[in-house]
């Protein structure tokens, strides 16, 4: 799908009256370590006020160590704070077929990190998208173009209270 059809572009269009620009710095398939390696240049280039951290899913799908995932996400949070921006962390969940023990260890990363770093934790938007098979790509993991307006609205609802000019 084109970048202009994805939820960050749709959210950017919604937020133009508020003069909040949404920059989609994601790269499909990125791990938390890859995001971390690209982050310093992105922070310098864009100088954001808020950064939505929605990483770790690809790490989990590849069975990476939850300890390593949490370490990388923690470094991302620290780098965002050091850049005087507010990190906003998105809960990520994995499909059930990864097993209870791994899923529990993986899912626990996000609330623990949010509490330790004292940052907001947003619920995982995909839990509502999965309920509509017509919104999913053939891989059963990624949302398709039909889901993007819903995701943009969902993000607007959950991010708006956190993204304020006075904060």
User: How confident is the model at residue 167, as a pLDDT?
Assistant: 42
User: How confident is the model at residue 43, as a pLDDT?
Assistant: 96
User: Cα separation of 96 and 139, whole Å?
Assistant: 15
Domain ranges of the chain: 3-159
- Burial level of 161, CB count in 10 A (0-12/13-18/19+)? exposed
What pLDDT digit, counting tens, does each position of 72-98 carry? 999 999 999 999 999 999 999 998 889
Fold of 3-159: Rossmann fold (3.40.50)
pTM of the predicted model as reported, rounded to 2 decimal places: 0.89
What pLDDT digit, counting tens, does each position of 18-49 carry? 778 888 898 888 999 999 999 999 999 999 99
CB-CB contact of 39 with 52 (8 Å): no
Position 15 pLDDT exceeds 90: no
């Amino acid at each position: 799908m084109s970048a202009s059809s994805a939820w960050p572009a749709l959210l950017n269009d919604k937020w133009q009256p508020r003069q909040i620009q949404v920059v989609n710095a994601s790269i499909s398939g990125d791990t938390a370590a890859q995001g971390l390696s690209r982050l310093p240049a992105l922070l310098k280039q864009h100088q954001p006020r808020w950064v939505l951290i929605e990483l770790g899913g690809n790490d989990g799908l590849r069975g990476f160590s939850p300890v390593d995932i949490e370490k990388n996400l923690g470094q991302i949070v620290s780098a965002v704070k050091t850049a005087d921006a507010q990190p906003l962390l998105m809960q990520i969940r994995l499909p059930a077929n990864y097993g209870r023990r791994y899923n529990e260890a993986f899912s626990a990363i996000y609330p623990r990190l949010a509490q330790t770093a004292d940052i907001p934790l947003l619920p995982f938007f995909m839990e509502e998208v999965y309920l509509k098979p017509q919104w999913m790509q053939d891989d059963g993991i990624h949302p398709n173009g039909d889901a993007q307006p819903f995701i943009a609205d969902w993000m607007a609802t959950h991010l708006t209270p956190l993204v304020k000019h006075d904060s």
